[in-house]
Chain A
Amino acid sequence: MAAAPLLELRGVSKAYPGVLALDRVDLELRAGEVHVLFGENGAGKSTLISLVAGVQAPDAGEIRLAGTAVRFASVHEACRAGVSAVFQEFSLVPQLTVAENIVLGDEPRCGLLLDVTAARRIARELLDRLGFALDPDARVEGLTRAEQQMVEIAKAFRSEPRVLVLDEPTASLTEREARRLLALVEQLETQGVGILYITHRMGEIRRIGDRVTVLRDGRKIATVPATTSEDELVRLMTGRAIEQIFPPLPPVPAGAPVLRVEDLTTRSGSVVAASFALRAGEILGFAGLVGSGKSEAARAVFGLEPITSGRLLLDGAPVETPTPAAMLARGVLYLPPDRREEGLAMVRPARENMTMAALDRPELGPGPWLGPFREARLAHELARRIELRPAAPERTVELFSGGNQQKILLARALARPVRLLMLDEPTVGVDMATRAAIYRLVVELAERGTAILLVSSDLPEILHLSHRVLVFHRGRVRAELVGAEIGEEAVLQHFFEREAA
Chain B
Amino acid sequence: MIETERAATLATPGPAERVRLLLVRLFVRLGVLPFLLLVAVVVFASLSENFLTVRNLTNVVRQAVYLLIVSLGQMLALLTGGFDLSVGTILALTSVVSASAMAAAHAAFPELPWLSIALGSMAGLAAGTAIGVANGLGVALFGVSPFIMTLGMASVGFGIALYLTGGVPVYGMPVLFGEVFGFGTLLGVPVPILIAALLVLVMLVLVYRTRLGRSFYAVGGNIKAARLSGIDTRRVLFATYVLCALATSIGGLLLTARLDTGEANIGASMPLESIAACVIAGVSLRGGVGRVENVVLGALFIVLVQNGMNLARIESYLQTVVLGLLLILAVIADQLRLRAMASLRA
A17-B342, A61-B1 given as contacts; is B227 within 8 A of A359 (CB)?
Answer: no
Q: Does A105 have its Cβ within 8 Å of any Cβ on chain B?
A: no
Contacts of A327 in B (CB 8 A): 230
A87 within 8 A of B: no
Segment of A140-148, A212-220, A336-344, A449-457 in the binding face = A336-344
Closest to B235 in A: A325
Q: How far is the CB of A285 from the nearest CB of chain B, in Å?
A: 21
Which chain B residue shows the least CB distance to A347?
B288
Q: Of A18, A325, A372, which one neighbours B208 at CB under 8 angstroms?
A: A372
On whether A360 and B211 interact (CB within 8 A), knowing A17-B346, A345-B288, A348-B288, the answer reads: yes
- A344 near B225: Cβ-Cβ < 8 Å: yes
Residue B284, interface by CB 8 Å: yes
Is B18 engaged at the interface, CB distance under 8 Å to the other chain? no
Indicate which residue in B210, B220, B345 contacts A368 across the interface (CB closer than 8 Å).
B210
Q: Does the CB pair B1–A11 fall under 8 Å?
A: yes
Of residues 318 through 356 on chain A, the ones whose CB sits less than 8 Å from some CB of chain B are: 324-325, 327-329, 334-336, 341-348, 352-353, 356
Residues of A within 8 A of B346 (CB): 15, 17
**Cβ A348 vs Cβ B1 within 8 A:** no
Contact of B224 with A by CB under 8 A: yes
Among A18, A59, A334, A369, the residue within 8 A (CB) of B228 is A334
Interface residue ranges of B195-213 to A (CB < 8 Å)? 208-213
* A347 and B229 within 8 A (CB): no
Find chain B residues with CB under 8 A from A356 CB. 218, 225-226, 229, 231
User: What A residues does B286 contact at CB under 8 A?
Assistant: 347
- Determine which of B210, B230, B345 lies in contact with A18 in the assembled complex, contact meaning CB atoms within 8 Å: B345
**Bound state CA distance, A399 and B346, in angstroms?**
10
Complexed CA–CA distance, A304 and B230 (Å) = 12
The answer to whether A348 and B221 touch (CB under 8 A), given A60-B2, A359-B215, A369-B209, is: yes
Cβ–Cβ contact B232 & A342, under 8 A: no
Picked from B217, B221, B224, B229, the residue with its CB within 8 Å of the CB of A412 is: B229
The residue of chain B having its C-beta at the shortest distance from the C-beta of A338 within the complex is B224
- Once the chains are docked, how many angstroms separate the CA of A353 from the CA of B208? 15
A225 CB → nearest B CB, Å: 31
Q: Look across to chain A and name the residue whose beta carbon is closest to the beta carbon of B289.
A: A347
Minimum Cβ distance to chain A for residue B302 (Å): 24
Interface residues of B in 322-346 (CB under 8 A from A): 342, 345-346
Contact A336 B231 (CB under 8 A): no
Q: Tell me the residues in window 252-291 of chain B with beta carbons closer than 8 Å to chain A beta carbons.
A: 284, 286, 288-289
Which residues of chain B have C-beta atoms less than 8 A from A61's C-beta? 1
Asked if A370 is at the interface of the complex by the 8 Å CB criterion, the answer is yes
Task: Please tell me if A27 contacts chain B, counting CB pairs below 8 Å.
Answer: no
Q: How far is the CB of A133 from chain B (nearest CB, A)?
A: 37
Interface residue total, chain A, C-beta cutoff 8 A: 40
Are B225 and A342 touching (Cβ within 8 A)? yes
- Which residues of the partner chain A approach B215 to less than 8 Å between Cβ atoms? 359
Q: A352 touches which one: B212, B214, B284 (CB < 8 A)?
A: B214
> Would you give the 0/1 interface string for B1-27, flagging 1 where the beta carbon is closer than 8 Å to chain A?
110000000000000000000000000
When distances are taken between beta carbons in the complex, the residues of chain B under 8 Å from A328 are 229-230
| Chain A, 16-67, CB within 8 A of any chain B CB | 17-18, 59-61
- A249: min CB distance to chain B, Å: 27
Tell me which residues across on chain A come within 8 A of B2, comparing CB atoms.
13, 15, 59-60
CA–CA, A368 to B214, complex, Å? 11
Q: Tell yes or no: B222 within 8 A of A by CB.
A: yes
Q: Which of B214, B222, B232, B288 has the most CB of A within 10 A?
A: B222
Is A171 part of the binding interface, using a Cβ–Cβ cutoff of 8 Å?
A: no
Contact residues in B for A343 (Cβ distance below 8 Å) = 222, 225, 228
The answer to whether A134 has its CB under 8 Å from any CB of chain B is: no
Contact call A360/B230, Cβ cutoff below 8 A: yes
Q: Choose from B228, B284, B342 the contact partner of A342 (Cβ within 8 Å).
A: B228
CB–CB B218/A352 < 8 A? yes
User: Which of A60, A324, A344, A364 is close to B230, meaning CB atoms less than 8 Å apart?
Assistant: A324
In the complex, the chain A residue whose C-beta lies closest to that of B221 is A345
CA distance A365 to B213 in the complex (A): 13
| A208 touches B (CB below 8 Å) | no
With A344-B225, A368-B210 as contacts: A357 and B345 at CB distance below 8 Å? no
Cβ of A482 to closest chain B Cβ, rounded Å: 30
Q: How far is the CA of A335 from the CA of B289 in the complex (A)?
A: 24
Kindly provide the distance from the CB of A363 to the nearest chain B CB, expressed in whole angstroms. 12
Bound: A302/B227 CA distance, A: 11
Q: Are B1 and A345 closer than 8 Å at their CB atoms?
A: no
CB nearest to B3 among chain A residues = A60
Alpha-carbon gap, A356 to B228, bound state (A): 9
Q: Is the CB of A345 within 8 A of B218?
A: yes
- Give chain B nearest CB distance to A125 CB in angstroms: 43
B211 contacts which of A15, A347, A370 (Cβ < 8 Å)? A370
Instruction: Decide if B210 touches A345 in the complex (CB within 8 Å).
Output: no
Distance in angstroms between the alpha carbons of A18 and B344 in the assembled complex: 12
A342-B222 contact given A347-B288, A352-B217, CB 8 Å threshold: yes
Distance (whole angstroms) from the CB of A337 to the closest CB of chain B: 11
Contact between B232 and A359 (Cβ–Cβ < 8 Å)? no
Q: Which of B1, B208, B209, B231 contacts A359 (CB 8 A)?
A: B231
**Contact call A324/B228, Cβ cutoff below 8 A:** yes
**What is the distance, in angstroms, from A361's C-beta to the closest C-beta of chain B?**
10
Whether the pair A346, B221 counts as a contact (CB closer than 8 A) is: yes
A399 to B338 alpha-carbon distance, docked (Å) = 12
A136 to B297, CA, bound (A): 60
- B225 near A370 with CB under 8 A, answer no
Chain B residues closer than 8 Å to A336, beta-carbon distance: 224-225, 228
Which residues of A lie under 8 Å from residue B220 when comparing CB positions?
345
Q: Is the CB of B218 within 8 A of A60?
A: no
B230–A370 touching, CB < 8 Å: no
A185 to B218, CA, bound (A): 48
Whether A325 lies near B231 (C-beta < 8 A) is yes
Chain A residues, CB < 8 A from B221:
345-348, 352
With a CB–CB cut-off of 8 A, which chain B residues contact A399?
Answer: 345
A352-B217, A368-B210, A370-B211 as given contacts; A342 in contact with B224, CB under 8 Å: yes
Separation of A348 and B286 alpha carbons in the complex (Å): 12
| Residues of A with C-beta under 8 A to B222 | 342-346
Q: Which residues of B contact A346 (CB under 8 A)?
A: 221-222
Partner of B225, one of A13, A15, A345, A368: A345
Instruction: List 8 A-B pairs, Cβ < 8 Å.
Output: A302-B228, A327-B230, A342-B222, A343-B225, A345-B220, A346-B222, A359-B215, A370-B210
Which residues of A approach B to under 8 Å, CB–CB?
A: 11, 13, 15, 17-18, 59-61, 302, 304, 324-325, 327-329, 334-336, 341-348, 352-353, 356-357, 359-360, 364-365, 368-370, 372, 399, 412
**The 8 residue pairs across chains A and B that have the minimum distance between CB atoms:** A345-B221, A328-B230, A357-B229, A356-B229, A345-B222, A325-B230, A342-B224, A348-B221
A-B contacts besides A13-B2, A356-B225, 5 pairs, CB < 8 Å: A17-B342, A60-B1, A352-B221, A359-B229, A370-B213
